[in-house]
Chain A
Amino acid sequence: MSSTFEAEVIAVMEQNKAGEDIHKASLSDAEKAEIEREFAHYEDKASVGLEALRIVQKHRGWVSDESLRAVSAYLDIPVAQLESVATYFQLIFRQPVGREVILLCKSASCWIMGCAHLQKKIQEKLRIKPGEITADGLFTLLETPCLGDCDNAPVMMINGEMHRHLTEATVDEILDNKIKTHRAKGSCHAGPDTD
């Protein structure tokens, strides 16, 4: 994602001081237990790095510098090596993301089927560009390589769930439903569940 660190994002983070603490903490017992389960699968602990980042992200919403350092210390992987992995993969978030992460497929097939119009629609409706977070902390938009669903193009994935055969109208509806659900729940920042 792009490195734009909008003032809005900072504002959202400040509203949520309680949520910020978890980004500073060392790894929780639950996080450690999940990471440890992976150890047996590999010759070398470094291989667990990516999965450990994903586990931490699942619990914390995104991977802060402090979280990265905590994983690095726990796995005894140099910070530089872990950071070079963390920044390489687009599904590891090194800055805050919304509760709902929209992966909009920009592959050739989806482009032929009109994903550019969908992107414009999403950007106008949510007033964000790719890599940004909405002011209410609800959505982040990311452009993504082929989602492997080309016969159902255009498609997008929101928090792991595929949405297919999209039109501007259905995108509108899907986003409205998400907004409605979160308002009803009074959702606060807990981070997207990517499972």
Chain B
Amino acid sequence: MPDQTLTKPLTKNICPQHKPPDIERYQDNGGYSGWRKALGMAPEDIVELVQKSGLRGRGGAGFNTGLKWSFVPRGKGSPAVKYLVCNADEMEPGTFKDRLLMEQNPHLLIEGMAIAAYAIEARTAYIFIRGEYHLAAVRLEQAINEARQAGLIGPDILNSGYSLEIYLHRSAGNYICGEETALLNALEGRRAIPRAKPPFPQVSGLWGKPTVVNNVETLCNIPHLIELGSEWYKSLGRCQDAGSKLFGVSGKVNKPGTWELPMGTPIREIIEEHAGGMRDGLKLKGFLPGGGSTDFLGPTDLDLPMDYDAIAKAGSRMGTGTIIVLDDHTCPVGLVLNLSQFFARESCGWCTPCRDGLPWVVEILTRIENGSGTPEDLDLLQEQVARMGPGNTFCALAPGAAEPLQSALRLFEEDFIDHIRKGRCPYR
């Protein structure tokens, strides 16, 4: 019987001391029963169930997954070739959740992909994995082979008439490939610059065919959602957002790590209980709630629940749900400089505000951090924030880069002014 009391569907098979479950152990533990059930359902019923469950994309944007699938033309008269792509290009600074899922429970992802591909009527699926994730790649290859041997993917799966091949595509180290249209260009063997939208990939994606790109964690939510239903799935959340979520904390806390917790778990609980609070008597000065491209929040925001809307209302984004903690002995100007250097380097160079704006931001921040900044530099930074904002650029990289910068200028204004007044970094 399916276990309706299950609260940690993503990590129930994960035990870091042990190897990940092979297909036998995975199936003994109920694995692939979501897939077996899905094969008996009509694709449109799966799309509707996922849409109703309220599952939102775990890659950062938080778009309703079922709704995304529903944009794919399906049924009679629709294009014969469609694709599913799993975005495993986890590169957001401070984000380390998808690696855990792929290394420790690879079959869950394969099962989720099989269901998603079936729902959108795709017969080929790719896992686009970053080149540095060697262990995850090895384990996924193994899981794909095991699933194929067991007849759970491949031709005519379990005599259903449905066939699916899943391939692993290893990338080679480029942040912008996380942007779904850049990823599709990379997969086609082109330079990975983002594409103009519309058309959206659901209509014209990989090789011009309807394509859905979903994040690893999103797809890992699918098997249990199908097995246990949307009401069960909704009940997992502690807020209006459904499901559980991998939350992580890094920075100077006592026990940095990743935990599967209900959607809507308060940030304070994540940082103080799960991550063990600040270490060495340090104080929390601020935090990035969902990776490097989200706005800083401050100590007064600690009681917010980690859900998409609550974090958005507070002026940031839940992003990937992995929190980077800034302590009171670490220089916020230095941290923003580090983030800006990252974004400047990873800019694909396609559009001007990003290509030229980010190196300029780095130059100004470097001068402030090194003690030769002027009060006018703060105005210049504000100007750049406005130029890199949404609507001025081709994709979300530059607006993402502007988020920690604009919020740091507001929350840590004193620190910026202090650098300029003292002519040095007061933290050194």
Contact surface of A with B, Cβ cutoff 8 Å: 41-51, 54, 77, 81, 84-85, 88-92, 103, 106-109, 111-113, 144-153, 157, 160, 195
Chain-A contact segment, one of B156-164, B187-195, B412-420: B187-195
User: Hey, which chain A residues are within 8 Å of B292, CB to CB?
Assistant: 107-108, 146
Contact of A85 among B92, B190, B252 (CB under 8 A): B190
User: Hey, which chain A residues are within 8 Å of B326, CB to CB?
Assistant: 112
Q: Would you call B322 and A84 a contact (CB within 8 A)?
A: no
Q: Would you call A107 and B342 a contact (CB within 8 A)?
A: yes
Q: Would you call A91 and B131 a contact (CB within 8 A)?
A: yes
Determine chain B's interface SS by DSSP, over half rule. Answer: mixed
Q: Mark B111-153, 1 if CB is under 8 A from A, else 0.
A: 0000000000000000000111110000000000000000000
Q: What CA separation (Å) do A112 and B252 show in the bound complex?
A: 8
Count of inter-chain pairs, beta carbons less than 8 A: 139
Interface residues of B in 159-217 (CB under 8 A from A): 167, 169-175, 186-192, 207
Q: What CA separation (Å) do A46 and B171 show in the bound complex?
A: 14
Q: Whose C-beta in chain B lies nearest to the C-beta of A159? A: B134
B228 interface residue per 8 A CB criterion = no
Q: Would you call B174 and A150 a contact (CB within 8 A)?
A: no
Q: Would you call B172 and A54 a contact (CB within 8 A)?
A: yes
Q: Whose C-beta in chain B lies nearest to the C-beta of A157? A: B132
User: Hey, which chain B residues are within 8 Å of A50, CB to CB?
Assistant: 170-172, 186, 189
Contact of A81 among B94, B189, B257 (CB under 8 A): B189
B324 interface residue per 8 A CB criterion = yes
Q: Whose C-beta in chain B lies nearest to the C-beta of A50? A: B172
Q: Would you call A41 and B134 a contact (CB within 8 A)?
A: no
Distance between A109 CB and nearest chain B CB, rounded to angstroms: 4
Q: What CA separation (Å) do A151 and B325 show in the bound complex?
A: 11
User: Hey, which chain A residues are within 8 Å of B87, CB to CB?
Assistant: none
Q: Would you call A108 and B288 a contact (CB within 8 A)?
A: yes
B248 interface residue per 8 A CB criterion = yes
Q: Would you call A146 and B93 a contact (CB within 8 A)?
A: yes
B95 interface residue per 8 A CB criterion = yes
Distance between A80 CB and nearest chain B CB, rounded to angstroms: 10
Please give me the 9 A-B residue pairs with the lowest Cβ-Cβ distance, nearest first: A46-B189, A89-B172, A150-B250, A91-B172, A151-B256, A109-B250, A90-B173, A107-B93, A84-B191
Q: Would you call B96 and A145 a contact (CB within 8 A)?
A: no
Contact surface of B with A, Cβ cutoff 8 Å: 90-96, 98-99, 130-134, 167, 169-175, 186-192, 207, 248-252, 256-258, 288, 292, 322, 324-327, 330, 334-335, 338-339, 341-342, 345-346, 348
User: Hey, which chain A residues are within 8 Å of B172, CB to CB?
Assistant: 50, 54, 89-92
Q: Would you call B187 and A145 a contact (CB within 8 A)?
A: no
**Between-chain CB contacts (< 8 Å), 23 pairs:** A46-B188, A50-B170, A81-B189, A84-B191, A88-B174, A89-B171, A90-B172, A106-B342, A108-B288, A108-B338, A108-B339, A108-B342, A109-B250, A112-B324, A113-B251, A113-B252, A145-B345, A145-B346, A148-B133, A150-B248, A150-B324, A151-B96, A151-B249
User: Hey, which chain A residues are within 8 Å of B248, CB to CB?
Assistant: 150-151
User: Hey, which chain A residues are within 8 Å of B131, CB to CB?
Assistant: 54, 89, 91
User: Hey, which chain A residues are within 8 Å of B93, CB to CB?
Assistant: 107-109, 145-146
Q: Would you call B99 and A149 a contact (CB within 8 A)?
A: yes
User: Hey, which chain A residues are within 8 Å of B345, CB to CB?
Assistant: 145
Q: What CA separation (Å) do A92 and B191 show in the bound complex?
A: 13
Q: Would you call B338 and A111 a contact (CB within 8 A)?
A: yes
User: Hey, which chain B residues are within 8 Å of A107, CB to CB?
Assistant: 93-94, 292, 338, 342
Contact of A145 among B207, B249, B322, B342 (CB under 8 A): B342
User: Hey, which chain A residues are within 8 Å of B167, CB to CB?
Assistant: 41-42
Q: Given known contacts A149-B96, A150-B96, A153-B250, is B189 in contact with A108 (CB within 8 Å)?
A: no
Q: What CA separation (Å) do A151 and B249 show in the bound complex?
A: 7
Q: What CA separation (Å) do A153 and B288 show in the bound complex?
A: 16
User: Hey, which chain A residues are within 8 Å of B189, CB to CB?
Assistant: 44-50, 77, 81, 85
Q: What CA separation (Å) do A37 and B189 show in the bound complex?
A: 16
Q: What CA separation (Å) do A41 and B91 show in the bound complex?
A: 25
- Chain B CB count within 10 A is highest, among A47, A51, A147, A151, for A151
User: Hey, which chain B residues are within 8 Å of A84, CB to CB?
Assistant: 190-191
Q: Would you call A146 and B173 a contact (CB within 8 A)?
A: no
Distance between A1 CB and nearest chain B CB, rounded to angstroms: 11
Distance between A131 CB and nearest chain B CB, rounded to angstroms: 12
Q: Would you call A47 and B188 a contact (CB within 8 A)?
A: yes
Distance between B135 CB and nearest chain A CB, rounded to angstroms: 8
Q: What CA separation (Å) do A54 and B171 show in the bound complex?
A: 10
User: Hey, which chain A residues are within 8 Å of B251, CB to CB?
Assistant: 109, 112-113
Q: Would you call B188 and A150 a contact (CB within 8 A)?
A: no
User: Hey, which chain B residues are within 8 Å of A152, CB to CB?
Assistant: 256
Contact of B190 among A41, A81, A150 (CB under 8 A): A81
Distance between A95 CB and nearest chain B CB, rounded to angstroms: 15
Distance between A79 CB and nearest chain B CB, rounded to angstroms: 13
User: Hey, which chain B residues are within 8 Å of A49, CB to CB?
Assistant: 189
Q: Would you call A91 and B324 a contact (CB within 8 A)?
A: no
Q: Would you call B190 and A89 a contact (CB within 8 A)?
A: no
Distance between A144 CB and nearest chain B CB, rounded to angstroms: 7
Q: What CA separation (Å) do A139 and B174 show in the bound complex?
A: 22
Q: Whose C-beta in chain A lies nearest to the C-beta of B90? A: A148
Distance between B201 CB and nearest chain A CB, rounded to angstroms: 15
Distance between A158 CB and nearest chain B CB, rounded to angstroms: 12
Q: Whose C-beta in chain A lies nearest to the C-beta of B404? A: A108
Q: Would you call B207 and A43 a contact (CB within 8 A)?
A: yes
Q: Would you call B94 and A146 a contact (CB within 8 A)?
A: yes
Distance between B13 CB and nearest chain A CB, rounded to angstroms: 20
